[in-house]
Structure 1
């Protein structure tokens, strides 16, 4: 059966969440434990033929353990942490590190320089709160919008924004970067995240091929799509959970799986999933209905706790099909926001005009945040202003993670 093919389901990440404090003498041992844990668990998955793509470490808010009195002090201490990460990582697996959330004005202002100098080892987020009247903290949103602009100006092609996001209604234990953060009041834990677009596409292809001459009602068709996708996803999660259940480790507690499809430029596009659901292209009529169905599938997992987003991810410049869709003018930012109402993750890796004002960036953040709290779901904003480019211009990203596409406009 096609859905049992383990090459179609990859473990995108084993993500550990740990707390550090001001005692620098403890840092090396904590990082060593996390690295060794991830490497050992990845070997367990490899033994049953699941590929592990990356290992990740997320800390509590960096202001709780780094000296943030000035940037030079912060940089010096972070260089020490980087040396430990390099010492205990492995050449076979990509290592990524998140410094948690920035909580104060001073910490937020440090992020552009940290990200510029340390890149993939300095993933960070800002969690936006609301008041009792459900009004978002606009001062922090404006500060975050300034960070987005500054990162775009001091990193080549603005690619540093890959490592920064603004979170709304997000909880700890998101395994995907840069939305990840840890709460020091919680114990050290870990989460597994998956990459499943290949699985979704092949399962749907198989179903459609077997039923191409059948006259099936729309209601029955979508119920069948739900069943075959849900069963396929559950099969692999059961296999992964069995490994977890048999792996004993006292340093990190298993808290759940993020069932999101987590697309990348190296697997099938989520657009291909929409195609198999008889949607001509993402953004065409039927897209919202398909998004809702897919979200229902990701939420259907049994026998294991779901954490993080556990929903549909539409990461524009990490997905070749979505990137092409920007060139074809298949969708705009409002399309992404509309679909976020029935799925997730918000506005993720969206290329925008380089001269987009801070005011407009803050406004689209507030729209996203309002939806997140009103609908009680986690949403994020990760925008990529591209210096010098206007709507419709084509990017020239050099990062291995990013797909080139047309720049969108924040209206």
Structure 2
């Protein structure tokens, strides 16, 4: 029922012993409440605030910071934690990224969120730095796997529960919830004969779950004093052979996945999610959209093997509230320019449509276009390597940031 509970730690504003005490109290109360309800839950993880600019002159302190969070994770049974770096503040960030790169490769529990677009502004320099970071990770990684833990976030909200696009905001302990909703949609889709019937039944059942979970979170917040930041009811896959967003689209009529009708059905599903949130009045954060994560979805990975899916199509789906370019393998010899421009395209969609999107590209060393990945991991599917279309020339920017001049974005985020 709960995919993840993400706990935001005010690591720079609260002494670590106080954080440890609050986290321990919260974790105990959370576990008791979940066990009482007999709810299944996959994981708990920590997210941190963006790394302060002061660390640019003290980058040598970053490993110690990560070490303290790793020890806290060991003590509290938390598997993953995420450290963001805000690249939109237009200050130097090379020293922080260099230190973070070596730390990321040593600490396998660490995720990194590189913030490329925020508050309707795109960091052009940040997109370039992120592309360089992605390539550096791939060249020192096992089969390119470690870029799984690295994301470029664009207009993502604070305390988004889905990794690696999470960042904590605030001086207090906070938590957010990522829900399991795909199985509800799959069950409804298998039992309905029309889109109208599907929409009605899915909204009704999803609304019930949202209200129940929101009440649980509010009660937990009251009991522990931890701030409830909201829930994310995104339709997300899990590579278990059953929890596939691609399968959901096929059941609704876009069969095979990626065929015409996928954009329409993505919009329909997004509308169901937004309707449930607005009609129930629950507190929300994050994406609340349809997640097409290629290496985490059995049907999407199959579509890639059959060459029915490409990056342009995935960006098109993202305009209807997908999650962006997520978990996509690309050739190991891809150019930094091409990764940079792919990030800029997705960042532009996020800014102009006023919606959260992310980018997770995985350059696969010694693999070229259409070759298969070979991860052999229980939480990743294998897929063919995607083409990342290149440009014959490089865009030359004198600016480090870009904000579009029109006063309003095309869309309105809900």
Once the two structures are TM-superposed, the CA of residue 158 in structure 1 deviates from its matched residue by: 1.1
Paired residues of 1:317 and 1:349 also in contact (CA < 8 A): yes
Once the two structures are superposed, the pairs formed by residues 332-371 of structure 1 within 5 Å of their partners are: 332-371=310-349
Q: Secondary structure at the residue paired with 2:69?
A: helix
- Aligned CA RMSD, in angstroms, stands at 2.2
Paired residues of 1:333 and 1:410 also in contact (CA < 8 A): yes
Paired residues of 2:331 and 2:369 also in contact (CA < 8 A): yes
Cross-structure match for 1:142: 128
Provide Cα deviations, 1:311-350, integer angstroms capped at 9, x if missing partner. Answer: 1111110111111111011111111000000112100111
1:12 to 3, 21, 46: 3
The reply on whether 1:251 has 2:239 as its aligned counterpart is no
Cross-structure match for 2:142: 156
Once the two structures are TM-superposed, the CA of residue 239 in structure 1 deviates from its matched residue by: 2.0
Cross-structure match for 1:165: 151
Q: Secondary structure at the residue paired with 1:280?
A: coil
2:370 to 379, 386, 392: 392
Once the two structures are superposed, the pairs formed by residues 4-403 of structure 1 within 5 Å of their partners are: 10-21=1-12, 26-63=15-52, 69-71=58-60, 73-89=61-77, 95-103=79-87, 104-120=93-109, 122-129=110-117, 136-184=122-170, 186-208=171-193, 221-247=194-220, 248-266=222-240, 267-300=242-275, 301=277, 302-403=280-381
Cross-structure match for 1:212: none
Q: Secondary structure at the residue paired with 1:249?
A: helix
Once the two structures are TM-superposed, the CA of residue 117 in structure 1 deviates from its matched residue by: 0.8
Deviates more, 1:332-341 or 1:234-243: 234-243
TM-score by length of 2: 0.86
Cross-structure match for 1:213: none
Tell me, which stretches of 5 or more residues in structure 1 are unaligned?
Answer: 1-9, 209-220
TM-score by length of 1: 0.86
Tell me, which stretches of 5 or more residues in structure 2 are unaligned?
Answer: 88-92, 390-414
Once the two structures are superposed, the pairs formed by residues 399-410 of structure 1 within 5 Å of their partners are: 399-410=377-388
Deviates more, 1:335-344 or 1:397-406: 397-406
Q: CA distance change for structure 1 residues 31 and 148 in 2, over 3 Å: closer, same or farther? A: farther
Once the two structures are TM-superposed, the CA of residue 29 in structure 1 deviates from its matched residue by: 3.4
Q: Distance in 1 between matches of 2:332 and 2:21?
A: 40
Instruction: Give the paired residue count.
Output: 379
Q: Distance in 1 between matches of 2:53 and 2:73?
A: 19
The runs of 4+ residues in structure 1 deviating greater than 4 Å are 64-68
Paired residues of 2:82 and 2:163 also in contact (CA < 8 A): yes
Paired residues of 1:108 and 1:144 also in contact (CA < 8 A): no
Q: Distance in 1 between matches of 2:19 and 2:53?
A: 15
Paired residues of 1:67 and 1:77 also in contact (CA < 8 A): no
